[in-house]
A and B are shown apart, each in its own frame.
Chain A
Amino acid sequence: AQSVTQPDIHITVSEGASLELRCNYSYGATPYLFWYVQSPGQGLQLLLKYFSGDTLVQGIKGFEAEFKRSQSSFNLRKPSVHWSDAAEYFCAVGARGNQFYFGTGTSLTVIP
């Protein structure tokens, strides 16, 4: 069965520090992988996606993610966090048709 695991429920980082949010997935075929961000009271916004090819993908707002098939991971990174990055982050797998499986989310707090 398909599943997405985000092991960190909550992460706190200082502004300017680097960030890595973890995501592991379970999926039988080649996965389509996504990271979304949700600011308080808002809907979800797509940060980046991986379909195939280069395993390091760049997204909006300075985020990047690396697909590692051997580890079934798709971790999100940012070299220097800004206070405006405080939000909830969701990793997701896209399956056949229009099926989606989301992780439970990681809440990011940024300390000034």
Chain B
Amino acid sequence: EAQVTQNPRYLITVTGKKLTVTCSQNMNHEYMSWYRQDPGLGLRQIYYSMNVEVTDKGDVPEGYKVSRKEKRNFPLILESPSPNQTSLYFCASSFRGAPYEQYFGPGTRLTVT
């Protein structure tokens, strides 16, 4: 089954404790993105990647890092999480031939206390 998976689905952590949210897709998609969703703000793009080793900043990259060492994986790293990063995070992927037809993962709800 074609899908985008994210782990963990729920995470509660404390300020400053480094964490990684994994994202993996099995569709051989070139493009991948991370978004955060906050009430009243919709979805905002954090980072995106157009291929292995190619990443770029979206609208709200501060406080986040990403890497794209393999085509299928696109982890989101919070080196020193803060409470304002409490949010619902979505990973998405798409095929280079149809870059805007994104497949979304189920989401990761992160709480930073």
Which A residues lie at the B interface, using CB under 8 A? Answer: 4, 6, 9, 32, 34, 42-46, 49, 51, 90, 92, 94, 97-105
User: Which residue of A is nearest B101, CB measured?
Assistant: A46
Q: Is the CB of B48 within 8 A of A97?
A: yes
Q: Which label, helix, strand, loop or mixed, suits the secondary structure of the A interface?
A: strand
B42 in contact with A104 (CB, 8 Å): yes
CA distance A44 to B33 in the complex (A): 13
**Cβ contacts under 8 Å, A43 to chain B:** 4, 90, 104-107
A41 to chain B, nearest CB (A): 8
- Size class of B's contact patch? 20 to 34
Please name the 7 residue pairs, one residue from A and one from B, whose CB atoms are nearest each other, closest first: A43-B104, A94-B100, A104-B42, A102-B43, A102-B42, A98-B48, A44-B104
With a cutoff of 8 Å between Cβ atoms, the chain A residues found around residue B97 in the complex are none
